[in-house]
Amino acid sequence: MENNEFLKNEALKKLPYKADKAYFNAMQDQVLHKIKLRDHEKNIFRNNFPFYIASGIAASLLFLLVFQWFTPKKEALPILSEVYFEDDEEIEYELSIDFSPENLGFDDAQMYLEINDVDEYEIYAEL
Partner 1 sequence: MASPNRMKAVANKYKNELDFKNLMDTYQEQLYMLIRRMLVDHDDTNDVLQEVFIIVWENMEKFKGESGIYTWMYRIAVNHCLKFIEKKKKRTKWMFGDYNTVLLDKVKADSGFSEDKTLLLLQEAILKLPEKQRLVFQMRYYDEMPYKEMSEILETSEGALKASYHHAQKKIEEYVLTHAQLNT
* Residues contributing to the site for partner 1 (CB under 8 A): 1, 3-4, 6-7, 9, 12-13, 15-17, 19, 24, 27-28, 30-32, 34-35, 38
Of 31 and 53, which CB lies nearer to partner 1 in the complex structure?
Answer: 31
Residue 41 identity: E
Q: How far is CA 18 from CA 7, 15, 24, 102, in A?
A: 22, 8, 11, 94
Of 40 and 100, which CB lies nearer to partner 1 in the complex structure?
Answer: 40
Of 9 and 71, which CB lies nearer to partner 1 in the complex structure?
Answer: 9
Please tell me the distance from the alpha carbon of residue 86 to that of residue 57, in angstroms, as a whole number: 54
CA 83 to chain centre: 46
Least distance to partner 1 from the beta carbon of 50, Å? 25
